[in-house]
Chains A and B, each alone.
Chain A
Amino acid sequence: MAYRDKKGQIEVTFNWVYILIAGAVILLFFFGLVFKQKAVSEQNLGNDLVRIMDSIFTGAGVSEKTKNFIDLSGLADYTLYFDCVDGVGEYGLKGTSARVENEVDPLFAPREIKGTQLIVWSLPYKLPYKVIDFLFVTSSNTKYFLFGGNTGVFDVESFMNSTEGFKRDYVTSEQYKSIDPGKNFQVRLVDLSGDIIGKGKEVPEKLQAMDNNKVTAVVFRGSNQVDYYQKEGERWTKLNYNTPVQIVSLGGERDAAKYAAIFAADDKVYKCNMQKAFKRLKYINEVYSGKAEEMKIFYSSKTFSKECFGYIQEGKPNLIDALSSQANLLQGCFKDNTLSNCGKLIESAMEIKTVNDNLGEKGDCITLY
């Protein structure tokens, strides 16, 4: 009897040990499954997010001059990052492998965005014909402060009207020192006069407690140059060490290149994205050169007066030469990434514009664009 009882006891203990081990293995298996699934879900979320962002940017990019406000409240804990190196843009979810590379679309944004609402706005870049749409990306907790008066360099009123819904304020130069960031994630100051912010000058007191990379500034120098600054402790430090950043634009209302300078994180991001625009300009210039050749052949026939032909080939300036000059200048522009040689593109663009206006208004001819 004693023998049978002992055996029974061992059997019962063994069963419990067996159940415990098997239970632990099963539990471990399911825990493993849950953790794996969590990682997969996060990866999928990241991938879905960048795919959706890509679609949104495509949509926003083609629908000219539209603003899109995108709710990000479900992703408030995640940080979106934007970068551009050597003409290749990249954006994605920070800390994950979810990212998209883009060599085509110029996207001007802060380096990081973390908030509940993403704002996407597109404006066409023309030189003088449309080259590409610039995409400006910001958030509802990125605040822009403009100051320095209406110097003629920048149309403040037009900017304020165009950016309704954005977090931006126009303050007087006297109010500069008391600028308050509020609860915003980051702040961008825009000095239109060019003499308020400078290397070594003091950062407004209420901004000093913020992280250095969350307080940046862009300073307009003259009509077509800007400098970028970032807070370093209590002082401003210049980001573009040597030369100011060249703005290549024909001016006017809603100047895409100037607005891009405000929304770009720094000089490197700005130049990198402008490189994308100039690359596209090269290809579009070829298309327009081909069109100009067809126009030349068409107007060289005796049926038409010589006026149109003159605007296209014989006059000064003429379309063929102006387009050829733009193509040559673009070669020089690509030689270095400082954009310093690209400034000359403005002259050739002005020439093309003049000829195009002459074709349409004076000669009643086919216009280039």
Chain B
Amino acid sequence: MTINKKGQMQMTETIAVLFIFFVLLLFGIIFYYKYQQVAVKEKQEELLAARAMDTTLKMLFLPELMCTKREAEPEDNCIDVLKMRQAKATFRKYMSDYYFGIFSYARIRVVDLVDKQELVLYDKEKTKVLDNGTMVGDWEKLEKTYFVVTLRDEIKGQGEARYDLGYIEVGVYS
């Protein structure tokens, strides 16, 4: 009887130890899972910010838009409006073939602060199709970056270069 009781005690003790062990293990797993969730989210945000910067950088130096002079030397932070108007059509025409490879899912807008005009040069939104067939946006965040530029328009200047102040807004969809 004494041995049986001792055995029962030992068994209960072992079960208790195992229980505590598994509780601790569960805590560990939950903690690790939560940490990973936060880490993944932070990493995603970091990547999104980097993509926004890269896209802005590419945009500013795009040969389709940038002003040049003499031997095609670039003028810094300047957009040639005559080229820009044509570029919009070219971006749209070759969006899936080519320009998606440069800008990915993004929205690029150029705003003329003098004439209060704006032009959406590129817009490729992440989308999904619902069960009822409607297409809706499938993104959580639009990370925007801004850059001040000058807009050169020689036609507005009647043959002479006229420079307006403006900005580029580059938004990337997450």
Contacts and interface: CB of A to CB of B under 8 A. Distances in A.
A213 interface: no
A81 interface: no
Contact of A298 (B70, B86, B94, B155): B155
Chain B contact-residue range equals 20 to 34
Interface centre among A63, A103, A369 (most CB of B within 10 A): A369
A128 interface: yes
Interface stretch (A143-151, A223-231, A282-290): A282-290
B105 to A, nearest CB: 16
B34 interface: no
B43 to A, nearest CB: 10
A118 interface: no
Given A287-B90, A288-B83, A290-B85, A104 B60 contact: no
A132 B63 contact: yes
Contacts of A360: 70
Contacts of B72: 124, 126, 128-130, 369
Interface stretch (A54-62, A160-168, A176-184, A328-336): A54-62
A294 interface: yes
Given A104-B102, A365-B159, A283 B61 contact: no
B169 to A, nearest CB: 18
Given A62-B60, A62-B61, A103-B101, A294 B68 contact: no
Contact of B90 (A55, A286, A294, A365): A286
A366 interface: yes
A295 interface: yes
A104 B101 contact: yes
Interface of A: 51, 55, 58-59, 62-64, 102-104, 124, 126, 128-133, 279-280, 283-284, 286-291, 294-295, 298, 304, 360, 365-367, 369
Contacts of B139: none
B89 A290 contact: yes
B86 A59 contact: no
Tell me which of B58, B63, B64, B72 has the highest count of chain A C-beta atoms within 10 A of its own C-beta.
Answer: B63
A129 B85 contact: no
Listed residue (B68, B69, B85) with the most chain A CB atoms within 10 angstroms of its CB: B68
28 contacts: A59-B57, A62-B61, A102-B101, A103-B101, A104-B102, A126-B71, A128-B72, A129-B63, A130-B63, A130-B68, A279-B98, A280-B63, A283-B90, A283-B98, A284-B64, A287-B64, A287-B86, A287-B87, A287-B90, A290-B89, A290-B90, A291-B80, A294-B82, A360-B70, A366-B82, A366-B154, A366-B155, A369-B72
B50 interface: yes
B63 A284 contact: yes
A280 to B, nearest CB: 8
B126 to A, nearest CB: 20
B42 to A, nearest CB: 14
A283 B60 contact: no
Contacts of A284: 63-64
Contact of A291 (B57, B63, B82): B82
A7 to B, nearest CB: 9
B54 interface: yes
A129 B69 CA distance: 10
Interface in B38-93: 47, 50, 54, 57-58, 60-61, 63-64, 66, 68-72, 74, 80, 82-83, 85-87, 89-90, 93
B98 A103 contact: yes
A304 B159 contact: yes
A225 B154 CA distance: 40
A304 B160 CA distance: 13
Interface in B86-141: 86-87, 89-90, 93-94, 98, 101-102
